[in-house]
Amino acid sequence: MNLLAVDIGNTDIKFGIFRNGTLTEQWRATGTRTHPEKFSALLRDSLAKTGAEFGALVYTSVVPDIEFVFRKTIQYCFNLPDQRIFAVNPQRIQLPLDFSRYPLEQLGMDRLVNACSARLLFPDTALIIADFGTATTLDLVDTDNNYLGGAITPGLRTFSESLSLKTARLPDISVANKTPQALQMGTNTVACLEAGIGIGYRGLIKELMAAAEQELAGQEVMCIATGGLAVPVIRLCGLDEQFQVVDPMLTLKGLYQLYEYNRKAENVHSS
């Protein structure tokens, strides 16, 4: 049975179709902050264009206002019964990690899914998971399967856009395609912005990663990068050797992993 995985974020909705456990199709749609009726139409159009077929759905959302519309749209358009719809709710599902150190009502479900996904995929080491998107988040897992929390900071694009939004004369620029070697102190406004944003963000990420590694001192650590901006941030910050795994689709894969983890747990309990 094909599985549709959906990650509803603050900016984009990411979709993936899993066939026999393999992510075979993936796409995204922009507009999660739209009116519910517009969101419903966006959702229907996005799924219809792919022609994808699926018999079950697993999803997570960091935008509670549209979750009800999303679920009802899927049920109406694809005749999926409730038992074929799996929402990532930590109060109702089995988790492979101990989250007792963090108030679950405050934890974004994308962070929870990333941490669980990384643990299920890499069971033998401590983990640092960096998710580069609208926000950049770091999540830490120790070798005893304890979720230790992490850090949240503005994403690279959010970091950059804040200057043009909050000032009258500074332009909006992008440093996503820059490299560490291309960044130096500027002699005009744009170059100064590139230096401040690029070098500043590089320092921010390196300091956060160093603090995370110190938190897990004495343990073998695997560093994983994910999110839509993972590749440009790693290039900009010169972090190629810092991350052993770069997988922008980790959250989608984590949804599948959690679905299977819970399906197997149900089979064990019912046998």
CB 243 within 8 A of CB 223: yes
CB 67 within 8 A of CB 60: no
Q: Which two tokens stand for residue 60?
A: 């997570």
163 compared with 255, residue with greater pLDDT: 255
Tally of structural domains, the chain: 2
pLDDT band at residue 269 under the 50/70/90 scheme: very low
Inside any domain, residue 139: yes
pLDDT on residue 34 = 64
239 in the same domain as 165: yes
Identify which has the larger pLDDT, 37 or 195. Answer: 195
User: Tokens 């790693």 map to which residue?
Assistant: 234
β-pairing, 221-226 with 126-132? parallel
Domain that holds residue 58: 3-87
Confidence band (pLDDT; 50, 70, 90) for 268? very low
Mean pLDDT of the chain: 87
The confidence band for 267, taking pLDDT boundaries of 50, 70 and 90, is: low
Any catalytic annotation for residue 7? no
- Residue ranges with strand state E in the chain: 3-8, 12-19, 22-30, 56-61, 85-87, 126-132, 135-141, 147-154, 221-226, 245-246
Q: What is the pTM of this model?
A: 0.86
pLDDT in tens, 35-90: 667 777 777 777 776 776 788 889 888 777 777 787 787 777 777 888 888 888 88
Residue 266 has pLDDT above 70, yes or no: no
- Report the Cα 213 to chain-centroid distance in Å: 20
Q: Residue 89 contacts by C-beta under 8 Å, 6 or more apart in sequence?
A: none
Residues 147 and 64 in one domain: no
Grade residue 259 by pLDDT with cuts at 50, 70 and 90: very high
Determine which one of 7, 110, 131, 247 is catalytic. Answer: 110
- Which residue, of 39, 71, 87, is where some domain finishes? 87
